[in-house]
Structure 1
Amino acid sequence: MSGKRLPCDVGRNGVALLLALLVCAQPALAARDSQKKQKATTSAAVGPTVPYTTKIDPTGNGDLDAALTSSSDLLGLQKAHAVGPFALAGRIRNEYDRLNTALESFGYYDGKVTITVTRPAASKAPPQLSMDGQDIGLPLWLASLPSGETLAIHITTRTGPLYHVGTVQVIAPDSRKPVALSAAQEKAFGLKTGAPAIASAVLQAGATLDATLKEEGHPLAKVDTPTAYLQPETRTLNVTYPVTIGPLANIGPITLDGLDYTHPHFVRKRLNVAPGQLYQPSKIEDARQDLASLGIFSTVGVKDAPKLAPDGSMPLTFNFREAKRHTIGAEVGYSTDLGGRVGGTWTHHNLFGNAERLKLTALVTGVGGTAQQGFGYDVYADLFKPDFPGRHQNASFRVEGIRQLFYSYRQTALILRAGIVRQLNRRWNLSYGMAAEEEKIAQFGVTRDYTMVFAPVSANYDNTDLPSPLQPPTHGVRVSLSVTPSASFNHGTSFFALLQANASTYFDLARFGISNPGRSVFAFRAIVGSVQGASTYAIPPDQRLYGGGTATIRGFRYQGVGPQFPNSKYAIGGTSLDAGTVEFRQRFFKSWGMAAFMDAGQVGSGSAPFTGTVRVGAGAGARYFTPIGPIRIDVAVPLNREQRGDKWELYIGLGETF
């Protein structure tokens, strides 16, 4: 092959294409950083230092300018690592190679770099005020300068003509014979004759082909570093890729390493891949991430065997490091209506070795709330069991004791719940279960005991694609539809059903090009609820519908919207509810943000929503963003309160309201 070959080990007159690419794509390589620090430390320790400033003229190509800037040691080290005159001269000379390599990475092989060193204009003798960075007298000139002067280093680059890709060959490493690619492989490879000889595109073509071959079931496939041949007469770059496709293989035996408390049978049952399936890295990675999502491992890794098994399959080894099984946490919250809520939790994350999670929680509630008559408590034990009774469904069980002293009613209750959440696909899930409750409720001077059973069913959709519900959504929709058939005993048997629909959606103003992604977001929420089959007084007070608070209408205290007993703070509750919210969320800097919102809603005494007196609240708040989620502080006021209603409400919590 004619032309100048660019092997791996030297500069422009024989620079490997790979080296040029890496300088472009990763200018702060660890090896080079180590070399920088070594040079800086050595030179800084000898003689006086020479302060200087560096300016690089733009080329008009933003990506190239960024590569030149990040490749420049003169610019990157001018403040952090001062040097003496002879070390500075060496730094300047080395700059030519670095910047020429960056130019070549973008296809400019006839480019030119000029570096000029200039003394301050007000300087006196010696009369020479500037010198080219390639002048052999540069070190002595720098050493002769008076101390204290700050030199100006000016870098200009001339790109010259853009080179293009010439011939592209895919060959076998040993025989050097051409390798035939399928149509799908050719499409994935993508590099064509005539394309700009940009380093990132040349490397990416090889990486994409390598990934495609493996995804098609060739675990031993390998695309080696391409060799480039410079053709100055045609201003082209001929590129040759050594490619080994290797045999087609299935997944072989799977080994599990590092399981101390977790049962291997559970992990194997959970695995999304199995021996005999076609080897595909994407499916294997999905399986790894799924195991990591269990929350019982601090790390989950997977690796191929060094070679195929005798039967031609590829053995896999999953490596685990188990996380701490026990954690202790605290829970704190506050709003002016519900008051303070404080307590602790103890969690066992792998109770029986099958990723079961037991959580014990004890909370003191109602500390100083405007909707509260005194302290209450909430004590419960939660048991979560994944993959029960089968794959893609999880079971949960709860035993809970609560005492709540609202102005609307005073309640002491024991509650038992059991439910299953079934994941239908990535965005849909279905939940169903049973619950029983034994309670004592006092309302407006009347105390009654109730025994109730429930059979809740709900369908939920979420395409916000967030890893945690505490993360603020910026796009997508969340919808929840639920029906809860219920029966109440003790004071005559009453059957009723609670129907409820919740929906929220989010619009990022970046869609319209007027903000950066995730910085300015409108959020909308709608809630509709209805009790069917029984009138207000035929159902227990805690099963009625109430408005007010963060879940419905901020600015009004919890249970402060809806039918009320005359001349009192006591809410009767209703059998229909509707509420809506418009909220604007703006993020500032890295960790701060704000929100402004308006809520409106009503509670009616009939089963049909959109009846009753509409109440409107508005407010604003601040956000501080943490890795877990935003810390939220909101203040809201009622815009059409009753004479005895609230004047304002404060809410503090973790995560957005919805």
Structure 2
Amino acid sequence: MTCSTVFPARWRAALTLALVLALPGCAILRTSGDEASSRPPVPERSQTTPTGAAPQATAFDIRIEAEDDDLRHLIERHNELQRYRAVADLDEAELARLLALAERDVRNLLGTEGYFTPQVTLRRDGAPGARPTVVIAIEPGPATTIAAVDIGFEGDIAQSADPGAVAQREAIVENWGLPEGRRFTQDRWSGAKTGALRQLVKRRYPRGKVGHSLADVDAPQAQARLGVRLDSGPLYRLGPATVQGAKRYPPELAERLSWLKPGDVYDQKKLVDAQQRLAGSGYYDSAYISIDPEGDPAAAPVSYTVTEAKRHKVQLGLGYSTDGGARVSLEHRDNTVFGTSWRADTKLHLDQKAPLLQTELTSLPDARGWRWAGLARYMRQDDGALNTTSKTLRAGIAKTEERYDRHFYLQYDHARVTGSGARAAPDALIGDGAAVSANYAWTGRYFDRLPVPSRGYGLSGEVGAGVTTAGERKPFARLTGRWLGIVPVGDGGSRLALRTEAGAVLADKRARLPLSYLFRTGGDTTVRGYGYRSIGIPLGGDVVGPGRYMAAGSVEWQRPVLRERFPGLLEHTLFIDVGGVANRASDLRAHWGVGTGVRLITPVGPMQLDIAYGLKSKRLRLHMNVGFVF
């Protein structure tokens, strides 16, 4: 016998399954509308009694006989007989009638799990006159699996040849949640449609919907054929913006900090990222960005609702690192310093190794995103036998974008080196000097997510040219570069973190370059197994001076651990670091460090604790570092 039945969407799949089970031989589940259909939730029946109340007498007991624990629990919790157990005056005729109805109910429940040809037997056990036990025996039969899936598209996404639309179509099909060969259940069917719809509306098509869906179940063959038509509607682009809540700061500031521009394709993730960017800018405590889906799709109005931050912010911090020891920091921010639109950020760090006092002034970004910036810094660095006092003045322009940072600036540096090691070496070798330079810095970030990337890479470089102002005036050039790559390994979430960096200063050997232009390495974020800035030019005894060439690299294996107990929280690492510093590139010598560690994944980035052994220093060192910065 063959048959097919079409139901309106309001009946949903649960009622359809009931009719399907009543007509063995074939079943067609057909739904249509704006949203994926789903089985209405079945209320749980509780067998507990209120606290302090006497246990309520039951008319009968229920026992489920099934080999599959999941199916047994499903029937125990949701079968219709549960609600009648409290009816104490049931006679035998009424109980028999309930048993006949309960069989249909159990078949319906099994159908939601993909079992359309079950053997269900209900019987009454117990002595005459005693409280009976209703036994529900289940042989579920073969589970229905997916034989074929047909995903179609309507609207702009079906017609567009734009690479973005093509990639979105392919991603929806590839990530379909109920592929061929998997067991059919009503929850999985509804979840797969919901997941496909979410992928459709999260980018380009906020008014997308499920235009039509079909689950054709062949019960005797235990197979289902699925069909879904996704209607994208029109392509949406961002249009003019309005800002609500702007009082202290100009309304256009929110637009400029969001990096959203009129004409951009609608992207839900970019709107969320823009909200977080505004909230983290220091100008706003919170922000909400949305579009008007009823507006013109070619220029959908964008609405910003912001809560502005207070003008002043003071922050006191305590910290510790194995490089610098304990640290106390005091930071103050004034978003409208001296009544202007400029911001002042002042920092005081009391650190055992590198205390500093710094003030930075920045303007609001202009229409193209560029800011003017100025900086003044006073810092001391204690390297044991060498103590360096440095002063820095900087002025320039900077631009920060989603993937790129650019910075043009002029800088003046002056360094004074004292200590027992300073008397044993010429000034040109220890960084005692001064210089003026013009510089350009660029950073590109191509990671999948921050601050804990799982793949991608970052690349940065800086080039500068200037002249020394201490002793003889000598021209010089300075080049630095850094690369970090994150490469997945296998399917378990493991990955390799590959890092390399290098720097060079080209100048006359008599040029008195300040320490900030020269290089030393070693420590938590460079070559582990060695002390902070302990790799440099040996000057005799325990004195290490800076060099004009530097190269360093690292290979680190990161793998999740205790995933079942602490998912996404802990990782184990194994690493090899290497680095060297010299005054000539040909004199660079490798300083190797090897070790292992653990990483705790936090919202602000990984917190890493490592133990490393320096092959050249022949020492075991503990290293701690927090956050991810590139």
With normalisation by structure 1, the TM-score equals 0.67
Describe the superposition over 1:470-490 as per-residue Cα deviations: whole angstroms up to 9, x where unpaired.
x2x433322222223233213
Alignment correspondent of 1:3: 5
Structure 2 counterpart SS, 1:648: strand
Alignment correspondent of 2:118: 112
Alignment correspondent of 1:621: 597
> 1:110-149, aligned counterparts within 5 Å?
110-112=116-118, 114=120, 134-135=122-123
The residue type equivalent to 1:436 in the other structure is Y
Describe the superposition over 1:513-571 as per-residue Cα deviations: whole angstroms up to 9, x where unpaired.
4xx12xx33322222222101327632344332232234322222332232222x2211
User: 2: CA distance between counterparts of 1:157 and 1:138?
Assistant: 25
Q: Which runs of 5+ in 2 are unaligned?
A: 21-28, 88-94
The answer (yes or no) to whether the contact 1:637–1:648 under 8 Å persists in 2 is yes
User: 1: CA distance between counterparts of 2:580 and 2:62?
Assistant: 69
Alignment correspondent of 2:305: 319
Alignment correspondent of 2:24: none
> 1:147-226, aligned counterparts within 5 Å?
156-159=139-142, 183=159
1:359 has 2:345 as partner: yes
Structure 2 counterpart SS, 1:402: strand
Structure 1 counterpart SS, 2:253: helix
User: 1: CA distance between counterparts of 2:479 and 2:72?
Assistant: 60
User: 2: CA distance between counterparts of 1:593 and 1:248?
Assistant: 42
CA RMSD in angstroms comes to 5.7
User: 1: CA distance between counterparts of 2:72 and 2:436?
Assistant: 67
Describe the superposition over 1:579-619 as per-residue Cα deviations: whole angstroms up to 9, x where unpaired.
2222222321223333222222322222xx25244322222
Alignment correspondent of 1:580: 553
User: 1: CA distance between counterparts of 2:355 and 2:156?
Assistant: 72
Alignment correspondent of 1:47: 55
Describe the superposition over 1:483-509 as per-residue Cα deviations: whole angstroms up to 9, x where unpaired.
232332132222222222222323322
Alignment correspondent of 1:655: 627
Describe the superposition over 1:265-316 as per-residue Cα deviations: whole angstroms up to 9, x where unpaired.
32345666677x59x643x76356325423254554445558558x998655
> 1:324-343, aligned counterparts within 5 Å?
326=313, 328-335=315-322, 338-343=324-329
Alignment correspondent of 1:382: 360
The answer (yes or no) to whether the contact 1:428–1:462 under 8 Å persists in 2 is yes
Q: Residue 405 of structure 1: which of 374, 379, 382 is its match? A: 382
Using the aligned pairs only, state the percent identity. 17
Q: Deviation of residue 45 (structure 1)?
A: 5.7
User: 2: CA distance between counterparts of 1:433 and 1:95?
Assistant: 80
The residue type equivalent to 2:595 in the other structure is G
User: 2: CA distance between counterparts of 1:169 and 1:83?
Assistant: 43
Describe the superposition over 1:34-71 as per-residue Cα deviations: whole angstroms up to 9, x where unpaired.
x438776669966279999989756xxxxxx9xx6799
Q: Deviation of residue 96 (structure 1)?
A: 7.5
The answer (yes or no) to whether the contact 1:456–1:485 under 8 Å persists in 2 is yes
User: 2: CA distance between counterparts of 1:353 and 1:84?
Assistant: 75
Q: Residue 457 of structure 1: which of 440, 462, 477 is its match? A: 440
Q: Deviation of residue 7 (structure 1)?
A: 4.7
User: 1: CA distance between counterparts of 2:129 and 2:469?
Assistant: 100
**Residues 1:356 and 1:312: Cα distance change in structure 2 (over 3 Å):** same
The answer (yes or no) to whether the contact 1:635–1:650 under 8 Å persists in 2 is yes
In terms of mean alpha carbon deviation, does 10-19 or 524-533 score higher? 10-19
Q: Residue 457 of structure 2: which of 448, 470, 477 is its match? A: 477
Describe the superposition over 1:232-270 as per-residue Cα deviations: whole angstroms up to 9, x where unpaired.
99998898989896x999877644333344422323456
The answer (yes or no) to whether the contact 1:73–1:95 under 8 Å persists in 2 is no
**Residues 1:229 and 1:41: Cα distance change in structure 2 (over 3 Å):** farther
With normalisation by structure 2, the TM-score equals 0.70
Structure 1 counterpart SS, 2:459: strand
Q: Residue 435 of structure 1: which of 411, 415, 422 is its match? A: 411
The residue type equivalent to 2:436 in the other structure is V
Alignment correspondent of 1:117: none
User: 2: CA distance between counterparts of 1:612 and 1:169?
Assistant: 61
Q: Residue 517 of structure 2: which of 539, 543, 546 is its match? A: 543
1:531 has 2:505 as partner: yes
**Residues 1:569 and 1:304: Cα distance change in structure 2 (over 3 Å):** closer
**Residues 1:99 and 1:241: Cα distance change in structure 2 (over 3 Å):** farther
Q: Residue 417 of structure 1: which of 383, 394, 399 is its match? A: 394
The residue type equivalent to 1:433 in the other structure is Y
User: 1: CA distance between counterparts of 2:478 and 2:244?
Assistant: 49
Alignment correspondent of 2:486: 506
Alignment correspondent of 2:26: none
The answer (yes or no) to whether the contact 1:288–1:300 under 8 Å persists in 2 is no
The answer (yes or no) to whether the contact 1:536–1:575 under 8 Å persists in 2 is no
**Residues 1:140 and 1:435: Cα distance change in structure 2 (over 3 Å):** farther
The answer (yes or no) to whether the contact 1:5–1:228 under 8 Å persists in 2 is no
Q: Deviation of residue 654 (structure 1)?
A: 0.6
Alignment correspondent of 2:273: 289
1:259 has 2:242 as partner: no
The answer (yes or no) to whether the contact 1:70–1:76 under 8 Å persists in 2 is no
User: 1: CA distance between counterparts of 2:255 and 2:304?
Assistant: 11
Describe the superposition over 1:186-207 as per-residue Cα deviations: whole angstroms up to 9, x where unpaired.
996989xxx9998666886699
User: 2: CA distance between counterparts of 1:102 and 1:570?
Assistant: 78
User: 2: CA distance between counterparts of 1:442 and 1:14?
Assistant: 91
The answer (yes or no) to whether the contact 1:562–1:612 under 8 Å persists in 2 is no
Structure 2 counterpart SS, 1:463: strand
User: 1: CA distance between counterparts of 2:475 and 2:408?
Assistant: 19
The answer (yes or no) to whether the contact 1:210–1:222 under 8 Å persists in 2 is no
The residue type equivalent to 2:610 in the other structure is D
User: 1: CA distance between counterparts of 2:129 and 2:361?
Assistant: 78
In terms of mean alpha carbon deviation, does 393-402 or 223-232 score higher? 223-232
The answer (yes or no) to whether the contact 1:227–1:241 under 8 Å persists in 2 is no
- Matched length: 572
User: 2: CA distance between counterparts of 1:323 and 1:155?
Assistant: 63
User: 2: CA distance between counterparts of 1:532 and 1:167?
Assistant: 64
Structure 2 counterpart SS, 1:72: helix
Alignment correspondent of 2:538: 564
Q: Deviation of residue 647 (structure 1)?
A: 2.9
Structure 1 counterpart SS, 2:447: coil
User: 2: CA distance between counterparts of 1:113 and 1:353?
Assistant: 81
